[in-house]
Structure 1
Amino acid sequence: MTTTGDSETSSPRWTWRSAKWFILATVALALFIEIFLYGFLVPMLPYMLEERMHQDPKQTQRLTSISLALHGLVSAFGGPLIGHLADKAPNRKIPFLVALAGCIVGTFMVACTTDVGVFFGGRVLQGISGSGAWIVGLATAADTVGPERIGTTMGIIMAFVNAAMVTGPMVSGLILEMAGYWFTWSVPVVILVIDVVARLLMVEKKEDGKTLADAQETDPLLESSGEEESRQDGKTPTANFWRTMLGNSRVMTALVIGVWGPTLNTSFNATLPLHVLDIFGWGPSRVGLMFFFLSLPGLPISPLAGYLRDRIGTRTPATIALTLQGVFLVLLGFAGNKQFEWSSAAGRGKALYIFCCIVFGTLRPFVSGIGPVELTCVVKAEEAKNPGIFGPRGGLSRVFSLVEVAATSGMTLGPILAGALTERFGYYTMCWTLSVISIIMATMARIFLGSKSTQEENRPQEESVE
């Protein structure tokens, strides 16, 4: 007997709810709001800490770094558990909605509180729910498209992420000055409402009329093949997953670079507002403009970067982008530095700083999407060689839990590293240190990441299995 809800979903006028474009749009919106809220706070933190929570202005840099790092820290610890539970769940819509509920509660805690403890509690809840959104969302996207289009798909999704990086700090910085604190918070509330509606409407993609959970329950051959594989090597599929993935140099390099990208991005969040205020005298609106320059180029370039990964692999684009990041980090340290007359604040310092921000925004898409593409390719190749190696449900949620742990570890490390180096040695030394790390990342990318030739090597194996 068909229920009313099922008949509505299967009706032609409701098929858009399970259409590929709608699923991917819902995922993109979920990731947009998570990054939007992270960046939204940045220009507001000095005001919130000093005016609403009455903290000593001398503690603003330290509390800012802690606030940004805490978001990533709880996500890094919660990621593997969330990935494991998501792989066990009968569908991904329920974890998606749970993550949204946590995001809403955490956002209201952060916005409404005048107590530092409650504020940090809200940041913890935002971090956990954000981790869930990333893991479940990216796994849903990878299930929806084939591996041959994973790079382009992730590139398009990352364009929405970059849009959030642009609009988050920019919107809060501009509206805070023009309309006040509470009106500023109305913007994320509206986006959260849209997100609720989209997630309730979304219907997961079905294969051959059955969900993956249905296939598990009704296909004994699928279950027995996974169990037999487990018995043959004496390891469970879960043990196989962690051993295989973490023992792969290509995977580990992608994860290390996955840590580095957010480390660099959040180092700007932690140091840029106070640095440009001190050196150039720029307030929240100018800070928002700098984040606009840091992220705007990624909007049109992210799909191109994803297309290049599908066509030539990640190795060459990542190597070039990481090398150029190292060069421009040095120039960023020169901008506004009083020791050098040619780049001082009174000279070309402002123009140089703006130019460097634009360059970083241009290079970011070639680094930010490496993890999802590389790990998905490795998982598909391993499953082609050894069907059922990661269990009947596969390991996509666990894959993206690794990606999420890497990203949130970087979000934790960035504010701590950049804030500590800036406080102890100054902004100039901080930029040089990050430059050296970027060159090391470029070297690792050149040696270990995948290229077109590695994709071709995997293809015959996959075809032979078929």
Structure 2
Amino acid sequence: MGDTETRSTRWEWRSAKWFILATVAIALFIEIFLYGFLVPMLPYMLEERMHQDPKQTQRLTSISLALHGLVSAFGGPLIGHLADKAPNRKGPFLIALVGCIIGTFMVACTTDVGVFFGGRVLQGISGSGAWIIGLATAADTVGPERIGTTMGFLMAFVNAAMVTGPMVSGLILEMAGYWFTWSVPVVILVIDIVARLLMVEKGGKEDAGKSLAGAEESDPLLGSPREEEDDAKTPRVNFWRTMLSNSRVMTALLIGVWGPTLNTSFNATLPLHVLDIFGWGPSRVGLMFSLLALPGLPISPLAGYLRDRIGTRTPATIALALQGVFLVLLGFAGNKHYEWSSAAGRGQALYIFCCIMFGTLRPFVSGIGPVELTCVVKAEEAKNPGIFGPRGGLSRVFSLVEVAATSGMTLGPILAGALTERFGYYNMCWTLSVVSIIMAIMARIFLGSKSMEEKAIQEANAE
């Protein structure tokens, strides 16, 4: 008995909330880190290792980045559906890691363009799996009352990966060479492997204790006769129809598209614009991208805590409206038609200030989808337990979030680049500002508040 208790206690830290959330955070970090890590290396890889014509570098780079988003967007719903059918989430989580390792190995080692794109496809699929299954695991671990703070914590790791990925690869490639550069993601992947193997998801500790004590009377994968009977009596509905016909869900998903669209629009327009208007080179361009990402590191957990306290409606409405204002100011900065914003030093200062404000406001917009969709699913489950199946539909929820995010990542550079080329940077900023204001209005009308959540809980309890 004593040995069983001792061995059982070894599971405590492996199934602890902090360890599960840390494992998910590492998984999300490595996925975003690898996406950004590759960007500074692509010209060298395409021209020196794959011997492609330098004239094709821009086109192949764009295809490589867009392919990651397209694969994730199309594969997300299928991954979410399969993950919800699996008996647990650890298995699919590990499979996604295997795909990431193989894809990364193909990208790093190949000298053939076809193999390179094959590796990018694997990275896209595994990255989508990491996001969907990881966020679903996190939501299951903490419950709806802490989902905002949890997502804020995870988004802080995502912001850190966005900053460190391209910075680390750019510096090490120049200083130490190609193969030493790849040692960094290898080390992070090893940590990821260990964490995912050790993790015991919610409920795992109890199951493990039963296994050690020899108390299992039936295979949990098969389920007990009572569970099967209850499952047969549970009314099922079409998950996709229920979610996509909900105005709150659709608003959250539209904002989930808009956030990455705006964020990645800077990738396509900022470097050329600041070079043309201010004469800034790569070092100052890198500084601008740091200003867009660094404020999110301390602010993301605070934004998540605020969502838990008052809901998403008010913070999102204010942040989206302010984004619209600063988009207009961004277009004015350095514009020679307006003396007040183009005087020596004033335009540069205004542009820097706007970048800082975008970095500050981003966390209040970026975590809306996970919070809102989780709340909707939990509310439906509270009214009709088992309505979305035994796994609760959370993997499918985060597949919708992933599709929205990757769609925005693909749309942003295309939309901003086309608008800038056709109508100019100033008009591009005005156009995006109008969209942001529309999103703010939709957020005010349709998103949830704390009073709405409390009312839903009361109604569910009354039923």
Same fold flag (TM > 0.5): yes
Higher mean displacement: 130-139 or 64-73: 64-73
Q: Name the CA shift for 1:47/1:274 in 2 (closer, same or farther; >3 Å).
A: farther
Alpha-carbon separation, structure 1, partners of 2:365 and 2:137: 22
Q: Name the CA shift for 1:182/1:78 in 2 (closer, same or farther; >3 Å).
A: same
Unaligned runs of 5+ in 2: none
Contact 1:69 1:416 in 2 (8 A): no
Alpha-carbon separation, structure 2, partners of 1:261 and 1:457: 28
Partner SS state of residue 120, structure 2? helix
Q: Name the CA shift for 1:226/1:338 in 2 (closer, same or farther; >3 Å).
A: farther
Partner SS state of residue 221, structure 1? coil
Alpha-carbon separation, structure 2, partners of 1:180 and 1:349: 38
Alpha-carbon separation, structure 1, partners of 2:143 and 2:194: 27
Cα deviations across residues 266-315 of structure 1 (Å, max 9, x unaligned)? 22233334444555454544443322211111111111111111111100
Shift of 1:361: 1.0
Q: Name the CA shift for 1:97/1:276 in 2 (closer, same or farther; >3 Å).
A: farther
Q: Name the CA shift for 1:37/1:214 in 2 (closer, same or farther; >3 Å).
A: farther
Shift of 1:252: 0.6
Structure 1 residue aligned with 2:288:
290
Contact 1:385 1:461 in 2 (8 A): no
Unaligned runs of 5+ in 1: none
Alpha-carbon separation, structure 2, partners of 1:97 and 1:83: 15
Q: Name the CA shift for 1:462/1:150 in 2 (closer, same or farther; >3 Å).
A: farther
Shift of 1:344: 4.9
Contact 2:237 2:387 in 1 (8 A): no
For the pair 1:31 / 2:28, whether they are aligned, the reply is yes
Question: RMSD over aligned Cα, in angstroms?
Answer: 3.8
Cα deviations across residues 430-449 of structure 1 (Å, max 9, x unaligned)? 32222221111111111100
Alpha-carbon separation, structure 2, partners of 1:272 and 1:212: 58
Alpha-carbon separation, structure 1, partners of 2:149 and 2:126: 26
Contact 1:173 1:285 in 2 (8 A): no
Partner SS state of residue 356, structure 1? helix
Higher mean displacement: 265-274 or 195-204: 265-274
Structure 2 residue aligned with 1:306:
304
Q: Name the CA shift for 1:228/1:23 in 2 (closer, same or farther; >3 Å).
A: closer
Contact 1:135 1:404 in 2 (8 A): yes
Contact 1:50 1:57 in 2 (8 A): yes
Shift of 1:235: 12
Cα deviations across residues 390-432 of structure 1 (Å, max 9, x unaligned)? 1222111111111111111112212222233334444333322
Partner SS state of residue 386, structure 2? coil
Q: Name the CA shift for 1:222/1:115 in 2 (closer, same or farther; >3 Å).
A: closer
Partner SS state of residue 336, structure 2? coil
Q: Name the CA shift for 1:216/1:253 in 2 (closer, same or farther; >3 Å).
A: farther
Cα deviations across residues 123-174 of structure 1 (Å, max 9, x unaligned)? 2221111100001101110111121111111111111111111212222333
Identity %: 90
Structure 2 residue aligned with 1:392:
390
Alpha-carbon separation, structure 2, partners of 1:271 and 1:122: 28
TM-score (norm: length of structure 2): 0.87
Q: Name the CA shift for 1:218/1:259 in 2 (closer, same or farther; >3 Å).
A: farther
Higher mean displacement: 275-284 or 408-417: 275-284
Cα deviations across residues 87-139 of structure 1 (Å, max 9, x unaligned)? 11122112111111222222233334444443333222211111000011011
Q: Name the CA shift for 1:339/1:186 in 2 (closer, same or farther; >3 Å).
A: farther
Q: Could you tell me which of 455, 459, 464 is aligned with 2:461?
A: 464
Cα deviations across residues 10-30 of structure 1 (Å, max 9, x unaligned)? 443452111111010000110
Cα deviations across residues 173-193 of structure 1 (Å, max 9, x unaligned)? 333444444433322222112
Q: Name the CA shift for 1:422/1:211 in 2 (closer, same or farther; >3 Å).
A: farther
TM-score (norm: length of structure 1): 0.86
Alpha-carbon separation, structure 1, partners of 2:325 and 2:309: 27
Q: Name the CA shift for 1:273/1:52 in 2 (closer, same or farther; >3 Å).
A: farther
Contact 1:43 1:288 in 2 (8 A): no
Shift of 1:350: 3.2
Contact 2:218 2:224 in 1 (8 A): no
Partner SS state of residue 210, structure 1? helix
Partner SS state of residue 250, structure 1? helix
Higher mean displacement: 418-427 or 64-73: 418-427
Alpha-carbon separation, structure 2, partners of 1:212 and 1:287: 57
Alpha-carbon separation, structure 1, partners of 2:195 and 2:220: 35
Alpha-carbon separation, structure 1, partners of 2:440 and 2:249: 15
Higher mean displacement: 77-86 or 289-298: 289-298
Shift of 1:461: 3.8
Contact 1:74 1:128 in 2 (8 A): yes
Structure 1 residue aligned with 2:61:
64
Q: Name the CA shift for 1:13/1:295 in 2 (closer, same or farther; >3 Å).
A: same
Contact 1:384 1:461 in 2 (8 A): no
Contact 1:258 1:371 in 2 (8 A): yes
Higher mean displacement: 163-172 or 49-58: 49-58
Alpha-carbon separation, structure 2, partners of 1:215 and 1:402: 39
Q: Name the CA shift for 1:228/1:104 in 2 (closer, same or farther; >3 Å).
A: closer
Alpha-carbon separation, structure 2, partners of 1:219 and 1:463: 32
Q: Name the CA shift for 1:73/1:308 in 2 (closer, same or farther; >3 Å).
A: same
